[in-house]
């Protein structure tokens, strides 16, 4: 047994499970809540605005995998190199890849790296990325997911060497409400509150909760409008979310695009056009509208939901490649 695991108290070691390292394991997901609380049995981490990435290492073989099983080695080659240099031979770790705009993580800036699949171009992109690690799922022949979170984080902190571009995701204990107010004042996305005694489950859980400072929502793109004036590519996106098997219309998103995104996304949209709307029989725009197959997922920021289920003042933040359209539902507090 790894010496770090041996150093755990006997009660914790009994929760370890000896097994072969799996080639895939689904990540644990947080639940959105409007609760804000302090609790000595909970820890609070910054909510990062990036891409969820799990790392699977066996010997010198490293795989970076998105939450929908896409291999990302060519997009983040510097992370692959950093994990190859780690002292422990076999592990699975969970974290968020981010890029910064000033002091804040920026999903929009990260988009410039997410679209690259050539390692040489990725390294020359001048978009520096970091991987913030917050959990340990497997270490040297043992499944660690049944350990309480605070034990997993303690072992993770000592199991890897944290030098850039790898960073340990720090946390605060107990004072969630105070930390939340500080985070929002600093312009952060919010916090992830985690039950310090909880095990790691491969699904959404209320042992991890999202305290958001701003409203965000993943959306399925179902159409677009023609550009006007000097605008290129398209005017606005028509977006929605799934409710059961139906794609519900959630409104138009007309801001948040630069010319490069308008051009590139416009081409992708034209390639997947269809005759009929993919949305259920809601009240839909009819003029200058083009419908598309619901294959693309985006992320938007917005002020609130209207009474009829539409996004108020939405702003486009970027495309998501780590979620299937059918998995996009309205996040409810």
As a residue count, the chain comes to 333
> What is the rounded average pLDDT for all residues in the chain?
95
What is the predicted pLDDT for the residue at 90?
95
User: What percent of the chain has pLDDT above 90?
Assistant: 91
Q: Which residues pair with 312 in a beta bridge?
A: 304
d(CA 131, CA 137): 16
Lowest mean pLDDT among 7-11, 88-92, 258-262: 88-92
What is the predicted pLDDT for the residue at 89?
84
Q: Is the pLDDT of residue 122 over 90?
A: yes
CB-CB contact of 6 with 155 (8 Å): no
Strand-strand pairing, 142-143 and 129-139:
antiparallel
Cα of first residue to Cα of last residue in the chain, in angstroms, is 43
CATH fold of the domain at 215-327: OB fold (Dihydrolipoamide Acetyltransferase, E2P) (2.40.50)
Average pLDDT over residues 75-79: 98
Average pLDDT over residues 117-141: 97
**Portions of the chain given CATH number 3.30.470.30:** 49-168
**What φ, ψ does residue 123 adopt, rounded to 5°?**
-70, -25
What is the predicted pLDDT for the residue at 177?
97
What is the predicted pLDDT for the residue at 36?
96
Report which of 228, 227, 224 is spatially closest to residue 293, judged by C-alpha positions: 224
Q: Which residues pair with 190 in a beta bridge?
A: 212
What is the predicted pLDDT for the residue at 104?
94
Evaluate the CA torsion angle 265, 271, 275, 281 in order and state its sign: negative
What is the predicted pLDDT for the residue at 1?
87
DSSP 160-205: S---TTEEE---EEE-HHHHHHHHHHTT--EEEEEETTPPP-SSEE
Average pLDDT over residues 119-136: 96
- Read off the pTM: 0.85
Lowest mean pLDDT among 86-90, 114-118, 223-227, 250-254: 86-90
d(CA 186, CA 329): 29
DSSP 102-147: TTEE-HHHHHHHHT---HHHHHTS---EEEEEEEEEEETTEE-TTS
Q: Which of 18, 19, 20, 47 is catalytic?
A: 47
* CA distances from residue 311 to 72, 253, 298 in whole angstroms, order as listed: 32, 9, 14
Average pLDDT over residues 233-262: 96
CATH architecture of 27-46+172-213: 2-Layer Sandwich (3.30)
- pLDDT-derived band at 281 (thresholds 50, 70, 90) equals confident
- 88-112 tens-digit pLDDT: 789 999 999 999 999 999 999 999 9
User: What percent of the chain has pLDDT above 70?
Assistant: 100
- 34-65 tens-digit pLDDT: 899 999 999 999 999 999 999 999 998 999 99
Q: Which residues neighbour 235 within 8 Å (Cβ) at sequence distance 6 or greater? A: 224, 225, 226, 227, 228, 254, 288
Report which of 165, 74, 156 is spatially closest to residue 121, judged by C-alpha positions: 74
**What φ, ψ does residue 304 adopt, rounded to 5°?**
-170, 170
The question of whether 268 is a catalytic residue gets the answer no
**Portions of the chain given CATH number 3.30.1490.70:** 27-46+172-213
Tokens of 57: 């290492």
- pLDDT-derived band at 333 (thresholds 50, 70, 90) equals low
Q: Which residues pair with 204 in a beta bridge?
A: 29
Average pLDDT over residues 227-256: 96
Average pLDDT over residues 71-99: 96
CATH architecture of 49-168: 2-Layer Sandwich (3.30)
Coil/strand/helix, residue 279: coil
Q: Which residues neighbour 296 within 8 Å (Cβ) at sequence distance 6 or greater? A: 220, 221, 268, 269, 272, 319, 325
CB-CB contact of 279 with 301 (8 Å): no
CB-CB contact of 150 with 157 (8 Å): no
């Amino acid at each position: 047994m790894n010496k770090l695991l041996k150093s755990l108290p006997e009660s914790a070691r009994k929760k370890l499970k000896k097994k072969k390292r799996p080639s895939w394991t689904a990540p644990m997901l947080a639940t959105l809540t409007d609760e804000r609380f302090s609790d000595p049995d909970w820890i609070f981490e910054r909510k990062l605005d990036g891409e969820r990435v799990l790392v699977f290492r066996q010997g010198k073989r490293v795989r970076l995998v998105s939450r929908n099983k896409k291999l990302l080695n060519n997009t983040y080659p510097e992370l692959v190199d950093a994990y190859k240099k780690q002292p422990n031979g076999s592990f699975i770790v969970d974290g968020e890849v981010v890029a910064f705009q000033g002091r804040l993580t920026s999903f929009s800036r990260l988009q410039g790296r997410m679209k690259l699949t050539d390692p040489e171009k990725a390294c020359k992109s001048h978009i520096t990325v970091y991987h913030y690690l917050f959990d340990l799922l497997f270490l040297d022949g043992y499944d660690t997911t049944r350990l309480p979170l605070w034990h997993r984080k303690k072992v993770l902190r000592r199991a890897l060497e944290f030098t850039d571009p790898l960073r340990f995701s720090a946390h605060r204990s107990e004072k969630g409400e105070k930390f939340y107010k500080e985070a929002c004042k600093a312009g952060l996305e919010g916090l992830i509150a985690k039950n310090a005694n909880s095990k790691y489950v491969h699904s959404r859980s209320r042992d991890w909760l999202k305290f958001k400072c701003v409203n965000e929502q993943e959306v399925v793109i179902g159409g677009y409008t023609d550009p006007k004036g000097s605008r290129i590519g398209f005017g606005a996106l028509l977006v929605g979310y799934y409710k059961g098997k139906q794609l519900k219309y959630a409104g138009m998103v007309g801001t948040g695009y630069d010319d490069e995104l308008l051009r590139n996304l416009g081409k992708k949209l034209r390639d997947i056009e269809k005759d009929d709307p993919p949305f259920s029989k809601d009240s839909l725009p009819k003029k200058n509208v083009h419908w598309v197959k619901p294959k693309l997922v985006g992320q938007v920021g917005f002020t609130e939901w209207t009474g009829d289920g539409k996004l108020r003042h939405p702003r486009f933040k970027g495309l998501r490649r780590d979620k299937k359209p059918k998995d996009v539902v309205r996040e409810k507090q």
